[in-house]
Structure 1
């Protein structure tokens, strides 16, 4: 992956699309985490503050909100991958502190990011992240729910 220090070994978009959506989400979760952390690092905040901000942005609620901002920009194939991720059923229980709908939507976002990453569409990954959190804007995490 140019500029990320990761070897360029993409698979075809079709082969990536055939993967289980939960496997795509497994990769997409890490892609999202890396993008968030890379952006936060530019703030030069203390490591503890960076970690707290990252935790606030790498969770189902924040990812579901990001997906809402991105949905109008998605291609048909990207929307299909999101839908497959949202509808995928995992064997583990939704974390207690997360809304089940947000959790499923976050899985959809992660599946799409995993598909884009695996198929070598790294510029599109960056483009969508920048659309969710435009460069130069504050990406503080949303307020935590207290219920």
Structure 2
């Protein structure tokens, strides 16, 4: 399957939860790449560090960082993701955290469909800039 970019109009036809489904994978891959680049360690340690960076609590904090960096269209996608219905909340997160985490994933999925890889990395770098991962690994 060819990675064909979508227009904003086409990307907006997907539900926020569908965008979050894709964005979860995009974000997870970015975290894995980030951890691998900063530390060559056993896979079990990499996995433990990854779990801390992809959990709803951490992504909810990332929401606050991203909110200030987004243009009007990106912010609209973030809010669509936050307001999406149908989320079942896992035991380890509260509803607000989980909805904000879904919003982050929705944004990353949306940007991926648009082919805006550079923007994805820019936003991800902003999220990680305020994080001391070395304490966790």
- Name segments (4+ residues, structure 1) moved above 6 Å: none
Residues 127 and 75 of structure 1: is their aligned pair in 2 closer, same or farther, counting only changes over 3 Å? same
Tell me how far 1:141 sits from its aligned partner: 8.3
CA–CA distance in structure 1, aligned partners of residues 134 and 119 of structure 2: 23
CA–CA distance in structure 2, aligned partners of residues 128 and 140 of structure 1: 20
Over the residues paired in the alignment, what is the CA RMSD in angstroms?
Answer: 2.0
Deviations 1:88-133 (A, max 9, x none): 111x520011111000001111111100001111110000001111
- Indicate if the aligned counterparts of 1:29 and 1:114 stay in contact, CA closer than 8 A: yes
Any gaps of 5 or more consecutive residues in structure 2?
Answer: none
Any gaps of 5 or more consecutive residues in structure 1?
Answer: 1-5, 143-147
Deviations 1:39-69 (A, max 9, x none): 0011112111000010111111010111111
TM-score normalised to the size of structure 2? Answer: 0.91
How many aligned residue pairs are there? 135
Task: Return 12-21 or 27-36, whichever deviates more.
Answer: 12-21
Q: Which protein is richer in helix relative to its size? A: 2
- Indicate if the aligned counterparts of 1:57 and 1:63 stay in contact, CA closer than 8 A: yes
TM-score normalised to the size of structure 1? Answer: 0.85
Tell me how far 1:13 sits from its aligned partner: 1.8
Aligned to 2:46: 50
**Corresponding position: 1:36 with 2:21:** no
- Indicate if the aligned counterparts of 1:53 and 1:141 stay in contact, CA closer than 8 A: no
Aligned to 1:65: 61
Aligned to 1:95: 90
**SS of 1:73's equivalent?**
coil
